[in-house]
Every structure is written in C-alpha cells, then in structure tokens.
Homo-oligomer: A and B are copies of this chain.
Amino acid sequence: MPTIYEVAAAAGVSPATVSRVFNGANVSPEKAEAVRKAAKALAFTPSRTARTLRLQSSEVIALVIPDIENPFFTALARGVEDVARAAGYSVVLCNTDEDHEKELVYLDIALSATMAGVIIAAAGGNSDLSGLLARKCPVVAVDRSPHGVDVDAVIVDNRAGGRAATHALVEQGFQRIACITGPSDVETATQRADGWRDAVTTGRPAEADDRYLRYADFRVDGGAAAMSELLALPEPPDAVFVANNLMSVGALRVLSEQGKLPPATGVAVFGDLPFLPLVPIPITVVHMPARHLGITAAKLLLERIKGDDQPARTIVLRNQVSPVG
C-alpha cells in the first residue's frame, strides 16, 4: 500500500503538504489538485495505524457486550452504531460471553489501540474499569452499571419492571408465582428478582417463597432447566416471571412440552422476543427500549469524547408493560 511519501513524490511536493491537503489546511489550489490526482492514481489511503499513533486517538469506539446471540444486545448495538457512524465514528463489537477474562482482554485492546471510547454492558459482577478510568478513556455503561465505579450509565429500572410484570400476574389471579432470573452476580438479575419479591409479598404478611426462585444463566437452556425444576416441585407454581428474553424461550418450550402453555400457566417476561409473536399466547411483556439504550449511551459517550467532564450521570429509561397475544 502506498504511503504519504510516495504520493508526495508523485505530486512533486513534501509529505507535509499531502497531509495538509487531506486535513483541510491551507494549500495552493494547484498543489492540492496535483496531490489529489497522485493520491487517486496510487489508490492512496492514509494509514490509520500511523495516524492513530501520532494523534494518540482514533475514531473507533468499542462496544463490549456479554452475548452477541441475544437480540436485545444486537438491537442495542444497532442503536449505538447509528449514532456513532452519523458522527463519523466506527463501532467494533466485542463479545465477552459473560466471561471476565475475555472482557479484560477486550478492554485492554481498547486501551492499547487508543480507541476513542468504550460502551460496556458489563459481564457479571464487578468489571475492572480501573484501567480505562485511570487513562481517562471515556466509558459509558449500558444495561448494567458496574459496581462501585463512577461512570455514566444508561439503564432501565429493573426492580420496577420486575415488580410490574409480577404484579400483572397477581392481578390475573395467580397464586404461586415463581421467578427465573439470571446469574446472582449480575445486577440486572438480582434487581429483577427484587421486583418479583416486592410484588409477591405486597399485601401479604409472608416472605417471598425462595423455593420459587431460580438463578439461571440468561440463556435458553438455562431457562428450560429452571422451568423443569420448578414444575417438578411438589407444589409447582401456577405462574412464572422470567427475567430475560432468552430464558423465556426455554421456559415456554418446557411449558409447551408439558401442555401447560399460557393461559394454563401465567407467564410474564422481562424483555422482547422479536421473533416470537406468531401464535397468540397470552404473555405479559416488559418491553426493553434496547435500541434507545444504545442510542442514548452513544450520545453520552460522544459528549464525553468531545471533552464534556461534568460529574457522571445515570439515565434511566422507561420500559412499557403490555400484554401480548
């Protein structure tokens, strides 16, 4: 690949002038034209690597997510991407698979590649953002706010959503409402379970019955396994609040196999299933503003990149609850 020196030689100018042509500094029209012609002839593309090294920053932002196969995160990614590319930034997606090791590797890459910023949906527990923060790399947390770190965050009110979803089941008259949530070290999982606990204990003296609470893995098979366990209880639940979209697929599959699909069993889900609503099954859904989470996070990040240094903000988006089917 041709370098700026070759272009300079071909156009009969210095490399400095070539650089100026591409960066909009003052160059005489004739030389500018000569440079442009030479650049086109050689199919010259400036090396981003050299540029990044010199400028100590690039126009790439990293989006770190725990599960690329979850439609929620891909929708979020689309939101981030749209905003970013409108502002001239590229987005690279990094899939951590809920694995701290991988997450650390990617954050390290983001740092040592001097990316412009990072948007992260942290893998379970306390992610180590100290490296980024120490180097003043702009960071925005999305969906999950890392524990004890003071960064911008864009989230939803998980507890309220869990409560609303469960409350809908209560109102439908169900008596024994179970909860299938995510890993106990993931904030969104515990908060949604807290919402469930709120709703099932409202107006009752009793405590939430933890026999009906299951921690799974936010994935299809985990949801199925948890549902099977619940149905095998001596006194199985008559309804279930599932704390994310993928697990609900597993849970519904099990219910389907056992002939207990809604309305026989009450089901409420935190999150959308874009490919689900074919057959009318009455389910309560807490819609996630996935795309908007991404859009908002990207806007925040861009502000930080531009130099905004006000104290960290947390933005809480609403999620609507609606029956489906």
**A interface list, Cβ under 8 A from B:** 1, 43, 45-50, 52-53, 58, 68-69, 71, 74-75, 77-78, 81, 85, 90, 92-95, 102, 105-106, 108-109, 111-114, 131, 134-135, 220, 246, 249, 252-253, 256, 261, 273-281
Q: For the complex of A and B, list the 5 residue pairs with the smallest distance between their C-beta atoms, beginning with the closest.
A: A92-B92, A93-B93, A48-B112, A279-B279, A49-B53
User: Which residues from B are CB-within-8-Å of A106?
Assistant: 90
Interface centre among A108, A114, A278, A280 (most CB of B within 10 A): A278
- Indicate if the CB atoms of B93 and A92 lie closer than 8 Å: yes
- Number of this chain's copies in the assembly equals 2
Instruction: Tell me the smallest distance from the CB of A1 to a CB of chain B, in Å.
Output: 5
User: Are B249 and A114 in contact (CB-based, < 8 A)?
Assistant: no
Q: B94 near A92 (CB under 8 angstroms)?
A: yes
Bound Cα distance from A281 to B256, whole angstroms = 12
**Alpha-carbon distance A126/B223, docked complex (angstroms):** 43
A232 to B131, CA, bound (A): 60
Shortest CB-to-CB span from A73 to chain B, Å, is: 9
Contact B275 A278 (CB under 8 A): no
| Contact residues in B for A249 (Cβ distance below 8 Å) | 274-275, 278
Partner of A49, one of B78, B93, B102, B112: B112
